[in-house]
């Protein structure tokens, strides 16, 4: 990365942090016909194909688990688009989860969104989480946290949970939609959600990342297919539907 681009990114994240800390300006953001307010400086992820697919398939009363919620574009768009939907937003980054909370509060979505300040993976334990100088790259993978010219600025011990454990305990209701965007840790999330995939059959929106750290695209694809899912490639990753539902859609 060039020195100029690195400087631009560094300045951007400094301004974003200041806006959140002081809660200065929460401007309106748009995803299709849906709008909400956010302290982000631009319409981050507003054109994501995975998010648009989720909103198209969203029904009243659906449960959406947003894994790697970051500052909340998916969470806020779902809550704004379907007020009766329930969103569980999962974000392990200690500082970013405060930014997510600020965005939920400025939209008065507290009754639609549950925040879990933990990570999801294949075990129930505490694990080292690497904080990046580019906040959105924070990851359980050190290599991902230092991508694109960023650097690891600190490491925190963060609770990790399996989605299977959270659903079994009643902490999280069985999801109708499961979005996974976790900076190279997606396979680990899926391995901790195999019972949910088999028993509750949510549609999965899986964002791909390049091969740093623990992510293994071939293994993630195999796990989903073995769990009875069909994968539709889109620009950011895969939309994964349970096979029976996908076949029924084609026959109608």
Q: Check: CB of residue 187 under 8 Å from CB of residue 222.
A: no
State the average pLDDT over residues 40-49. 88
Q: How many Å apart are CA 205 and CA 84, to the nearest integer?
A: 20
* Confidence grade of residue 41 (pLDDT, cut at 50, 70, 90): very high
Query: What does the domain layout of the chain look like in residue ranges?
Result: 45-251
State the average pLDDT over residues 86-97. 95
DSSP 173: P
Q: What is the pLDDT of residues 200-233, one digit of tens each?
A: 999 999 998 754 444 588 999 999 999 999 999 9
* Confidence grade of residue 5 (pLDDT, cut at 50, 70, 90): confident
Lowest mean pLDDT among 81-90, 145-154, 185-194: 145-154
Token pair belonging to 104: 């939920």
The residue that leads in pLDDT, 134 or 222, is: 222
* β-bridge mates for residue 157, sequence order: 128
Q: Check: CB of residue 214 under 8 Å from CB of residue 186.
A: no
For the 45-251 domain, the top CATH level (class) is: alpha beta
- Parallel, antiparallel, or unpaired: how do β-strands 125-132 and 203-207 relate? unpaired
State the average pLDDT over residues 130-138. 84
- Dihedrals φ, ψ of 153, to 5°? -100, -20
Q: How high is the mean pLDDT of the chain?
A: 91
State the average pLDDT over residues 163-170. 98
Q: How many Å apart are CA 170 and CA 29, to the nearest integer?
A: 33
Report pLDDT for 85: 98
Whether pLDDT at 61 is above 60: yes
The residue that leads in pLDDT, 75 or 217, is: 75
């Amino acid at each position: 990365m060039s020195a100029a681009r690195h400087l631009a990114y560094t300045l951007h994240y400094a301004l974003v942090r200041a806006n959140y800390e002081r809660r200065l300006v929460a401007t309106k953001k748009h995803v299709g016909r849906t709008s909400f307010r956010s302290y982000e400086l631009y319409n981050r992820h507003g054109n994501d194909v995975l998010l648009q697919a989720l909103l198209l398939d969203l029904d009243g009363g659906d449960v959406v688990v947003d894994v790697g919620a970051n500052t909340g574009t998916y969470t806020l768009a779902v809550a704004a688009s379907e007020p009766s939907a329930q969103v569980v937003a999962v974000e392990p980054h200690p500082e970013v989860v405060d930014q997510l909370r600020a965005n939920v509060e400025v939209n008065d979505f507290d009754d639609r969104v549950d925040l879990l300040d933990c990570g999801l993976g294949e075990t129930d334990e505490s694990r080292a989480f690497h904080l990046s100088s580019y906040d959105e790259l924070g990851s359980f993978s050190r290599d991902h946290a230092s991508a694109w010219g960023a650097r690891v600025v600190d490491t925190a011990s963060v609770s990790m949970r399996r989605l299977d454990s959270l659903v079994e305990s009643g902490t999280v209701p069985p999801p109708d939609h499961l979005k996974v965007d976790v900076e190279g840790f997606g396979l680990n999330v899926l391995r901790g959600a195999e019972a949910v995939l088999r028993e509750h059959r949510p549609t999965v929106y899986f964002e791909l990342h390049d091969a740093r750290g623990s992510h293994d695209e071939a293994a993630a694809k195999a796990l989903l297919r073995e769990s009875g899912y069909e994968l539709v490639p889109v620009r950011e990753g895969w939309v994964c539907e349970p096979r029976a539902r996908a076949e029924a859609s084609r026959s109608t």
